[in-house]
Structures are given as C-alpha cells and as structure tokens.
Amino acid sequence: MSGDGSQAAKRLMPNTVLITRREAKGWSRIRAARELERAGLGRGLSVPDADAIEKALYRHETGRAACRDPLYIELYCLVYEATQHELFGHVTAPAPSQADTFGVRSHKFVCAFIGAEQAAGLVATGQAAPGEPCFGLACHVAEASHSSGPCHLYAWPFGTAILHLAEDLNLPNIANLAIWRRRSYVENLRWASGHLSSLVGEAVNASYVLSLYWLHSPIWSGGELDTAVRIMSTPRVLLERDDEENDASLGHAELVERSLFTQGFDHAEIVPFGLKGIAIGHASWSGVVYCPLAPRRALTQEELVTTELATQAMWTYCEHINGQVEQGKDPYVPDEYGWRFLRGVRSRLTNARPQETSQHRSMRSAILETSGLLDHLAQAIDVLRESER
C-alpha cells in the first residue's frame, strides 16, 4: 500500500504557475478562494462557495486534478490577470461535443408602463431606492422576490418599470430553450402584472419580455458555435406558430435545429457585434446573445444588462406615447419628460463616448438597430413637438 501511494505521489504534477501567482499576491489558499468567489459574483457567474473553491484550488495546484472546468479557468484568468495559456499551458477544456448540456444565464426584462405618479409613489413610500443611472437616466431599484432567480425592479421617473429576472440554465439543445422561453414568457408577464399592480395599488399590464442570453459554457465550437448563437438570438425560428407545448412540439423543434446546423442559419435582421477571438455576439428583434471567448477582454454582463435596461426603458415610454396617439388622444407627459428630454436621450444613446471601447460601441449600435428604438424615439419626438405647438 505504501509503495502504491508513493508511485501515485510521484505521478502528481503540481501547477507551479498557479502556486507562484497566488504566492506573489501574498495570499493563502483560503484568501485566494475568496477572491475567486468575489470575481465570479462580480461577473454574474454562478460560483460555488469559498470552501468548495478552496478544495478545487488545492487539487488544481497540487496536480491531483487538471483544471478543465471553463468556470475555474475564467476565474483564475480574472484574478491572476493572465491568459489560459499562461496558467495552464496546452491544457484546454473538454471538446464541446463531449458535454451533454450548455450553460447559459438568461436575463429577462419584463417591461410595463406604470405612470410617472406611480413611479414617484414607489420612491416616496421607500419601496425603491436610488440606483446607478443607465446612460444618464436616473432610476430607482428594489428587490423583487421570484422563485426562479435574482430579480430586481427598476423604476424610472417618467413612468417605466422593468423587472429584471436572471435565471441559470443548463439545457441539452436550443430547442429546449425555445420551448422554455415560450412557456416562461406567459408566466413572467402574468407574475409581473400582478406584482406591479400590488405595488402601485392599481391594475398594471406588463406589455412584453425581452431576453439577453450570456452563453458561458457552450457545447459547440468553430462555425457551429456561431450558428448556435444566431439561432439562440431568434429561438422562435425553431417553433411552429400555433404548435402546442408538448412532446411533439419539442421533437419538431429538435428536427429544425439539426437542420439549421446542417444547412447553416442566417437572418437579415440579425446584427453581429462580437470581435474575432474575443467574443461572439448577435442581436435581433427577439433578443441578444453573447458568448465570451476571452473573458478578460470581452464585454461584461453588467455592460450588456445596462444597455438593455436603458433601451427597453425608453422603448416602453415611447410605446406609451405613440399608443395614446393611436387611440386618438393627445399625448400627455410630464413637462420635464417631453420631446426635449427624448431628444437628449437619443443623443446619449447614439453618440459614442470618449472612453467607450469599440466592442461596447458595436454592441450598443446592434441593440439599438435591432430594437427599432430610434424610429420609436423619432416618432415620439415629432408627436410631442406637434402637440406642444
């Protein structure tokens, strides 16, 4: 027994690079585990607790286990400010085809117009506290309890409310995502309408849901990964319009998915915004998908979420204004949120900032283009100017 143990010890190949990087920061393994946990949470990733991370760190450093988990690779690269090759040499994650499921974080934006007075009431009663501005748009934030994942309510003083729900998914194919998305949208709209109605004390109808998918653990590679991201940005393409939610509809969706992977998939309304070797990103009217290939150089979830919050907040506000016109009414908005306000917002959303990266500018442009917000803004500005005259 002792001889076998000795042979096993000799076969261990410690990762001296990981050890050196940690010791250079003066960290114990406990401290390093906490830093890895903090970095993961800051990125919006689903990470184990510090104790579990410490055990994994010990195994990776001592060579008892090779680090092949994409999550830990990303965390090490973040904390030690190094590339995967610098830390692990030629060690790579398992081939995508060997995995059974892909991992994605779903960000849903459930949007409603509650009115400026109701939004102010949420603030006055202490139900919402000041949050970080989105593209210069001040808003208030409150936690909202939801069984599926972390959820926050964002309320803007011009009357828009958005419930941002984050859910972690592991699915065998995109067909399952498409079925889940269709089913959950109905439930999310019903829940959001009830939740907002109870908060403001009057009936509120959430109008739509927009999805952003952060694809952190794909099961595809090369051209198939790009095709997968394209399909995920328009998952409804896998579903028949009036099909019922049953085993047959899932089977049909899986057949369509396999066909699209074989033939390739593109759509005129899909706008790419990734950067080769860093990330793959596609935006469409249905949603946005982003897959970071080099996490330390890619966009963050926060940047994508902030852009969508601002875009959907204004889209919902403009929808309310233009909806009043379609009903034959003269639109009414608070004076401080009239056409001059909308003109200023349009400028902030469309003009590049001095320190904005090319990746961020490309992402922002793709989201604005596919959302149709700029046309919506232009129409609302014209309507309010005419009404003022």
Query: Quick one: 381 and 260 in the same domain?
Result: yes
Range of the domain at 21: 2-93
Q: How confident is the model at residue 327 (pLDDT cuts 50, 70, 90)?
A: confident
Query: Does the structure show a pLDDT above 50 at 249?
Result: yes
Please indicate whether residue 165 or residue 296 has the higher confidence score (pLDDT): 165
Q: How confident is the model at residue 63 (pLDDT cuts 50, 70, 90)?
A: confident
Query: Does the structure show a pLDDT above 50 at 5?
Result: no
Query: Quick one: 70 and 155 in the same domain?
Result: no
Strands (E), 201-277: 208-217, 271-272
Q: How confident is the model at residue 1 (pLDDT cuts 50, 70, 90)?
A: very low
Give the chain's radius of gyration (CA, Å).
24
Q: How confident is the model at residue 99 (pLDDT cuts 50, 70, 90)?
A: low
Out of 36, 66, 93, a domain closes at 93
Q: What is the DSSP string of 138-174?
A: --EEEE---TTS-EEEEE-TTSEEEEEEEEEEEESSH
**Six-digit token string for 96:** 């995508």
Query: Quick one: 143 and 109 in the same domain?
Result: yes
Out of 41, 58, 93, a domain closes at 93
Query: Does the structure show a pLDDT above 70 at 366?
Result: yes
To the nearest 10 degrees (0 to 180), the angle between helices 29-42 and 70-80 is 100
Query: Quick one: 175 and 299 in the same domain?
Result: yes
What pLDDT, on a 0 to 100 scale, did the predictor assign at position 175?
95
Please indicate whether residue 32 or residue 95 has the higher confidence score (pLDDT): 32
Give the tens place of pLDDT for each residue, 119-175: 999 999 989 999 988 888 999 999 998 989 999 999 999 999 999 999 999 999 999
Query: Quick one: 173 and 54 in the same domain?
Result: no
Q: How confident is the model at residue 285 (pLDDT cuts 50, 70, 90)?
A: very high
Please check whether residue 305 is in contact with residue 212, taking contact to mean a CB–CB distance below 8 angstroms: yes
Q: What mean pLDDT is reported for the chain? A: 89
Q: What is the DSSP string of 285-303?
A: SSEEEEEESSTTTSPPHHH
Query: Quick one: 62 and 83 in the same domain?
Result: yes
What pLDDT, on a 0 to 100 scale, did the predictor assign at position 108?
98
What pLDDT, on a 0 to 100 scale, did the predictor assign at position 244?
53
Query: Quick one: 128 and 49 in the same domain?
Result: no
Structural domain count of the chain: 2
Strands (E), the chain: 102-113, 129-130, 140-143, 151-155, 160-171, 208-217, 271-272, 279-283, 287-292
Q: What percent of the chain has pLDDT over 70?
A: 92
Q: How confident is the model at residue 71 (pLDDT cuts 50, 70, 90)?
A: confident
Tracing tokens 């946005």 back to the chain, one arrives at: 288
Return the CATH number at 34: 1.10.260
CA-CA distance, 368 to 373, in Å (whole number)? 6
Contacts of 341 (CB under 8 A, 6+ apart): 158
Picking from 371, 127, 128, the residue whose alpha carbon sits closest to that of residue 269 is: 371
Q: How confident is the model at residue 336 (pLDDT cuts 50, 70, 90)?
A: very high
